[in-house]
Amino acid sequence: MEVSSAEAALSVSASSIRITDVTQDGDVLTFALTSQKLDSSAGVCVFRIYEDFDWLQQSLFSQENLPGLQGIIFPPLPSKALPSQSNTQTKALKQLGFLALGQDWQSYCKALEFYLQQVAAHPTLCKCKALDSFLFNSESPGKQRGRKGIFNRLSQAVEEMRKESHKDVDNFFQNERNKNTNLAALSKVATEKLLDVVMTEQKLALACGHFSTSLHLCVNQDDASAVAFSKVCLKLSDVIEAVKRNLEKVASNNLSTLGLGLDLESRYQEAEKEMLFRRTCKLIELETVKKGTEKAKANKREVLEAFQKAVEKEFNLISSVAKQEIERFHSSHVNVLKNFLIGWCEVQLNTAKEFAELYSQHLEACRNMYSE
Amino acid sequence: ISSSSNGPKAEPMLLDHDPDDLFAEATEEVSLDSPERQMILSDGPSPAITPVTINPRADVFDLSFVSHENRDTFDIQISVSDPEKVGDGMNAYMAYKVTTKTSLSIFSRDEVCVKRRFSDFLGLHSKLASKYMHIGYIVPPAPEKSIVGQRLGRRSSAVTELDPDAKACLCCRYLLRTVKQPALLKDPDVLQFLESSELPRAVSTQALSGAGILRMVNKAADAVNKMTIKMNESDAWFEEKQQQFENLDVQLRKLHASVESLVFHRKELSVNTASFAKSAAMLGNSEDHTALSRALSQLAEVEEKIDQLHQDQACADFYLISELLGDYVRLITAVKGVFDQRMKTWAKCQDAQVMLQRKREAEAKLQHANKPDKLQQAKDEIREWEGKVQQGERDFEQISKNIRREVGRFEKDRVKDFRVVIIKYLESLVHTQQQLIKYWEAFLPEAKAIA
């Protein structure tokens, strides 16, 4: 992802941003974060907790004097992870989906990493001072509980639903809204279905483990035939153990590539949805103002017309920013998915090769042993 | 041989001589004498029962074995196929085609094909059990719908009621186990079952179905328990073996429950994979970008193919491992049955001795009573019971000998069967991975082509 900015001195190399470590202390996860400024070869390492990320996001939302801010598709921040014991896996899954799985919060860290990279790569957002503080201040900036941004998460109130389906004045945007609604729903479903697959793979691996252990317990040295039978059981136990490792690897591959990718895609579609909704709300506001102006009595009309002009200007700005954002989003989402698909395919191919080799070795060994 | 291309490839198993066969030199006297029987009964290596194909979509379950025994080679191939419903309503039943291909001379033809219904199999088993169990032969258990007896683990079996294909496979394995037992192969009932086009309807199949066997075993066990004199086990071998079989029974049931869980989850994985494939396809259809849309559709196709692999693997899990374990759980019941029969035989012998003693005492009393005809009767009765005692002792010796030999055979077969299954299972695993490699290698350029 390229970074292009006039203020190079303040800019960070997006691709250099890494979350290198995570530690857990009770309920709190602390992330170790390294990044590099564009004009420097030295990396900077800082420690952040989730509240810091949230502060960054809110800061981005609440930037002032940024025309058409509402037309920006903000990179989606994953929900807060709650690692406490009382949180069952089902709760965690519901909340975080794929990001809850995997060892040691690897997926979750990756998702946070992507978030920062996308913010740093965004032509407008990368200029935000908050990003700089976030990445380079040794002091955690989140200590200041900033005011909540003007944008809240898209609520599900009936009121909002009605607004969401408000007819657009622009075909381009109407199309985009329709497509986005569709894609957001479909990618969410695909993500959930893949999650089901991964969970089942893990369950199957567990069942293999149990079977393998049971076989191992069948060892009996009473007499020659018992010994022979025990050997066979142990062999089968080894084979099933290999099958278990195979499944675990396949599940982890799915999780760390395609799962992560679909999760990101799904959340990004939601982010676009939120942007489009903000614009639609502005449109409704504009139309309401227009109606008000038309009905106004002569003495109030001038004021209202001035106000209407202002709203219209805002709306047009938002729309033009939105158009750019949409185009940018379309090309980057293709690229992102492409990379995930390639990564997924490569890692599954390697696993298949690895285990084809392993099973063949076992087969060869058995054939030799048993033909004696 | 199955013509399906989806299941793993398989070759018929060739087995070799077993120079360490402990009973190679044992010569048996069997109560049913026939010189041919003697030759067949002498032990050689016995072949393993193994499914050659595991694809239930194939019409033919071809289970075959080839064995080299002494100087004679005998081979026999049995397949049970084409389950079809006959009749309707209350009287409907499933009929199977049983095909026997053999070069053995005891069969009248090289290849014969007959139609049998499930109760025919049970009927055959009941006849064989009544003929051979009490002299110590481990008669292969009847093809049962479910595992008789207690089920370990909370999960109720996903496969208690078998589908027609699995049942056909079960019946086939039953027949193969039966014919590879030398004594049973020559039995007229077995030959009739395999060869004659019409079979008298087995009416009392309830008598010795698996549940029936269990009842018989339980009755014998009850008889054993009711014995006031505990059997003096002069032979520690029997005691040890019985204990081993008890342990093995427990272990096998546990293993079987474990595998059923595996099969269940594998099927679940198949369902979920198919569901994901659909959702990926829908995503692909809605995507504007051509190359991405194409890649997503390819992804969906790959996942569909993987689903198919999961289904095939579930079959392997089931037919190779699960059914093998199930077979052996049922076999152990038959083994335990023969041990109990031996106890029963011993009890009978004991009873005869007690009776003989009483008759002698009675005769002694009559010696001094001067009743010549009663005395004669008493002497006759003594002779009669002496005969019975001798017969009882012979029977007991015979059944003990037979059991020893049968157990040896069982233990060898067990190792062979499991070995063959491991190899087949590994073959299926290798095959699956190779298919996966193909799919991924085909998909990679599609993913890279997204511009």
- Complex-level ipTM: 0.90
Task: Return the residue matching tokens 């169990």.
Answer: B133
Tell me which residue range forms the domain holding B111.
75-209
Q: Using an 8 Å CB-CB cutoff, list chain A residues near B287.
A: 183
Give residue B223's pLDDT.
62
User: If residue B67 lies in a helix (H) or strand (E), which one and from where to where?
Assistant: strand B60-69
Q: Is residue B81 part of a domain?
A: yes
Average pLDDT value for residue range A9-26: 82
What residues of A are in contact with residue B299 (Cβ under 8 Å)? 341
Q: Residue B1, Cα to own-chain centre: how many angstroms?
A: 21
Which token pair is A27?
A: 């309920």
Q: Are strands B93-102 and B72-86 parallel, antiparallel or unpaired?
A: antiparallel
Q: Minimal Cα distance from B409: which residue of A?
A: A225
A176, A215, A334: which to substitute to probe chain B, counting the most B Cβ within 10 Å?
Answer: A334
- Cβ distance of B272 and A193 shorter than 8 Å: yes
Is B422 in Cβ contact with A236 (below 8 Å)? yes
The reply to whether B15 touches chain A by the CB within 8 Å rule is: no
**CA dihedral of residues B126, B131, B133, B134 (deg, nearest 10):** 130
Nearest by CB to residue A346, choosing from B247, B289, B444, is B444
Secondary structure class of B115 (helix, strand, coil): strand
Nearest to B195 by CA among B99, B86, B121, B59: B99
Cβ <8 Å between A182 and B286: yes
Integer Cα distance of A253 and A106 in angstroms: 12
Query: What does the alpha-carbon distance between residue B439 and residue B307 come to, in Å, rounded to a whole number?
Result: 12
Mean pLDDT of A296-319: 89
- Selection from A260, A241, A242 nearest residue A347 by Cα: A260
Report the alpha-carbon distance of residue B83 to residue A337 in Å, rounded: 49
Interface membership of B316 toward A (CB under 8 Å): no
What average pLDDT is seen over chain A?
87
How far apart, in Å, do the first and last CA atoms of chain A sit? 61
Q: How far apart are the first and last CA of chain B?
A: 48
Beta carbon pairs, A and B, within 8 Å: 162
In chain B, residues with a C-beta closer than 8 Å to the C-beta of A189 are: 279, 282
| Alpha-carbon separation of residue B189 from A88, A152, B124, B200, B370 (angstroms) | 62, 83, 7, 11, 55
Minimal CA separation from B325 to chain A, in Å: 12
Joined together, the tokens standing for residue B326 give 């199930």
Q: How long a stretch of residues is chain A?
A: 372
DSSP states along B228-257:
SSPP----HHHHHHHHHHHHHHHHHHHHHH
Report CA dihedral (B437, B441, B442, B443) to the nearest 10 degrees: 100
Looking at the domain assignment, is residue B272 inside a domain?
A: no
Tokens coding A245: 């490792």
Using the Cβ of B437 and the Cβ atoms of chain A, whether some distance falls under 8 Å is answered with yes
Enumerate residues 6+ apart whose C-beta is below 8 A from B251: A214, A217, A218
Q: Does B272 touch chain A (CB under 8 A)?
A: yes
pLDDT of residue A147: 52
CA B11 centroid distance within chain? 21
Residue B365 is assigned to a structural domain of this protein: no
Put simply, the answer to whether A363 touches B268 (Cβ < 8 Å) is no
Q: What is the DSSP string of B78-100?
A: EEEEEEEEES-GGG-EEEEEEEE
Please give the pLDDT value at position B103.
83
Interface test with B, best of A182, A210, A211, A255 (most B CBs within 10 A): A211
Contacts of A264 in chain B (CB under 8 A): none
Closest among A112, A126, A151, A137 to A276, alpha carbons compared: A151
CB atoms within 10 A of CB B116: 20
Report the C-alpha gap between A139 and B372 in whole angstroms.
Answer: 124
Specify the 3-state DSSP secondary structure of B79: strand
Return the structure tokens found at A295.
Answer: 């009905």
B417: which 2 tokens? 């069967």
How many structural domains compose chain B?
1
- Residue B102 falls within a domain, yes or no? yes
Q: Measure in Å the smallest separation between the Cα of B304 and chain A Cα atoms.
A: 13
Within a domain: B172: yes
C-alpha B65/C-alpha B15 separation (Å) is 9
Considering only CA atoms, which of B409, B340, B401 is closest in space to residue B31? Answer: B401
3-state secondary structure (DSSP) of residue B223: helix
Give the per-residue pLDDT at B429: 95
B415 part of contact set with chain A, CB < 8 Å? yes
Measured at the alpha carbon of residue B185, what is the angle toward residues B183 and B188, in degrees to the nearest 5? 95
The length of chain B in residues reads 451
pLDDT exceeding 70 applies to what percent of chain A?
A: 91
- Are A200 and B434 inside 8 Å of each other by CB? no
In a domain, B252, yes or no: no
**Lowest-confidence range among A41-55, A139-153, A267-281, B400-414?**
A139-153
**Cβ contact (<8 Å) for B423 and A218?**
no
Please report residues of B whose CB lies closer than 8 A to that of A370. Answer: 419, 423
d(CA A272, CA A74): 8
CB contact under 8 Å between B447 and A233, yes or no, is no
Q: Could you tell me if B432 and A323 are in contact, meaning their C-beta atoms sit under 8 angstroms apart?
A: no
The alpha-carbon gap from A129 to the nearest alpha carbon of chain B, in Å, equals 34
Chain B residue with CA closest to A221: the answer is B244
Written as tens digits, the pLDDT of chain B (451 aa) is 333 333 343 333 333 333 333 333 333 333 333 333 333 333 334 444 444 434 443 323 333 333 323 333 457 888 888 888 888 888 788 889 999 888 888 888 889 999 998 888 988 998 998 899 888 899 998 887 555 433 333 333 433 456 788 888 888 889 988 988 888 888 999 999 998 888 777 655 444 455 555 666 666 666 666 554 456 667 788 888 988 999 999 999 999 999 999 999 999 999 999 999 999 999 999 998 999 999 999 999 999 999 999 999 998 888 889 989 999 999 999 999 899 899 889 888 889 999 999 888 888 888 887 777 788 888 888 898 999 999 999 999 999 999 999 999 999 889 989 999 999 999 999 999 999 999 999 999 999 998 7
The DSSP 8-state label assigned to residue A258 in this structure reads I
CATH of the domain at B88: 3.30.1520.10
Nearest CA in chain B to A350: B437
Contact B330, B173 (CB under 8 A): no
Shortest distance between the Cα of A13 and any Cα of chain B, in A, equals: 24
Q: Which of A193, A200, A359 sits opposite B433 (nearest CB)?
A: A359
Facing A214 at nearest CB: one of B255, B411, B425: B255
Coil, helix or strand at residue A230: helix
Is residue B155 in some structural domain?
Answer: yes
8 Å CB contact of B240 and A193: no
**Is B143 part of any domain?**
yes
How many angstroms away from the CA of A237 is the closest CA of chain B? 10
3-class DSSP assignment, residue A17: coil
